[in-house]
Amino acid sequence: MSRPTRAEAEQAVRTLLRWIGDDPDREGLRSTPERVAKAYEDWFGGYREDPVEFLRRTFQEVEGYDEMIVLRDIRFESHCEHHMAPIIGKVHIGYLPARKIVGISKLARVVETFARRLQVQEAMTAQIAHCIQDVLKPKGVGVVVEGTHQCMTTRGVRKHGVAMITSQLLGHFRSDPRTRNEFLTMIGRPNVVG
Residue range 96-128, pLDDT digits in tens: 999 889 999 999 999 999 999 999 999 999 999
Residue 192's pLDDT is what?
59
Assess whether 149 carries a catalytic annotation: yes
Residue 63's pLDDT is what?
74
Assess whether 80 carries a catalytic annotation: yes
Assess whether 83 carries a catalytic annotation: yes
Residue 191's pLDDT is what?
64
Assess whether 121 carries a catalytic annotation: yes
Give pLDDT < 70 ranges for the chain. Answer: 191-194
Q: Which of 53, 77, 81, 122 is catalytic?
A: 81
Residue 164's pLDDT is what?
95
Could you give the C-alpha distances from 148 to 120, 142, 156, in angstroms and in order? Answer: 12, 20, 14
